[in-house]
Chains A and B, each alone.
Chain A
């Protein structure tokens, strides 16, 4: 092995390296993309689940929208107030409180309460089952099918199937809305964490028809509506609805409900 070989190796590699380096440097200038440093800083503090609950494509989408001023600093439900404070610091604005919301399944058709119309032996997803006759095996067409599409889609292990229907673990729920989007029966909605009473039924059938298929369904009797002193409850489409802005957690509605569907 002679020294020229070593020297030539160094010269060739260094030469090619320099040429490539200069070319890449020029390309970097030519194709430079302007990015706002705040965008990356916000992306750092966002949870990074890319759940899309904010309505933007992933955390990067929300970060870009916040910097552009299209989204509020408290746009991230998942991160809650903690993240909002950090984002507000980066954006140098006052942080607004994030209302702590959680998902809630509007059905109480546990196995012991609601019957099945027939035996279903198809693909075990709610979506598939909801496409077959009678919109699934459950006798109540509005009820939770319990095949757990929401469980599969949940990133936070907050959804579980308990005795045949979906149930939310509120401590884990981050209100990302994935389950809401995936539920073929549109049974899930966001409710304030600090409100205690909810109507656990979604059946728009008349009282008799509801009773026939489910022992705990809302029959639309309107007792709660008359009892509520705050005027927070209204019955339309044969189901009671609670206006959480007015509800003061007094619990009188739950006391008078003959089916015990408000809890």
Chain B
């Protein structure tokens, strides 16, 4: 139980997937202009990463390990792509407006390095199935925290008179850098 809590906190906050590991930056910059869509993206990512962690670590421990672990990358990508397709189908059916708001970034979760990154990190840290699932969930929660915070800042920033050269993505990247520095303060939390 204690290890699970440690994994939860360390993956969600201390080693935040976006702000300390710089994974999943594409949707972080792409869909962070409104809190509502950002939260929707976060929910989709939580669903995909949690499920993909569960499925990939199950496949890894039952089929791939120890003989065929060189197949992990290709198998993981296969699983992730399928899960994203599933999320897309579900969203299209039940939350059509969110589906449209996420646009191209939804299928792009497939190539979101955060998703594959978590699956591979589960393997390198030799987590078991439960630990992997918790790690996946926590990482996705970290992603959601980061993207929702970013969206909050960007909603406020929309009213600011930003210098012409910094308008649009540049100021967002500067903000992301400052947020990453702030999150660096958590690094002493878990030794």
Contacts and interface: CB of A to CB of B under 8 A. Distances in A.
- Same complex for A and B? Answer yes
B78 A20 contact: yes
B92 A31 contact: yes
Given A31-B89, A31-B93, A17 B78 contact: yes
Interface string B33-74: 000000000000000000000000001000110011001001
B90 A12 contact: no
Contacts of B71: 9, 12-13
B163 interface: no
B92 A33 contact: yes
A32 B59 CA distance: 28
A226 to B, nearest CB: 49
A215 to B, nearest CB: 33
Contacts of A123: 161
Contacts of B26: none
A93 interface: no
Contacts of B75: 12-13, 16
A28 interface: yes
B56 to A, nearest CB: 11
Contacts of B93: 31-33
A27 interface: yes
B9 interface: no
Contact of A13 (B67, B78, B100): B78
Given A9-B71, A123-B161, A16 B78 contact: yes
Interface in A89-138: 123-124
Nearest to A32: B93
A60 interface: yes
Contacts of B85: 24, 27
A60 B100 contact: yes
Contacts of A17: 78
Contact of B63 (A12, A20, A23, A60): A12
A8 B78 contact: no
What is the interface of chain B mostly: helix, strand, loop, or mixed?
Answer: helix
Contacts of A31: 89-90, 92-93
A20 B78 CA distance: 8
Interface string A5-46: 000110011001100100110011001110000000000000
Interface in B66-102: 67-68, 71, 74-75, 78-79, 82, 85-86, 89-90, 92-93, 96, 100
Residue from A13, A20, A32, A60 having most chain B Cβ neighbours under 10 A: A20
Interface in B124-160: none
Contacts of B74: 13
A59 to B, nearest CB: 12
A31 B86 CA distance: 9
A141 B107 CA distance: 51
Given A12-B68, A13-B71, A13-B74, A24 B100 contact: no
Contacts of A9: 68, 71
Contacts of B79: 16, 20
Interface of B: 59, 63-64, 67-68, 71, 74-75, 78-79, 82, 85-86, 89-90, 92-93, 96, 100, 161
7 contacts: A8-B67, A12-B63, A23-B86, A24-B85, A28-B89, A31-B89, A32-B93
Closest 8 CB pairs of A and B: A20-B82, A31-B89, A31-B93, A33-B93, A27-B89, A33-B92, A27-B86, A24-B85
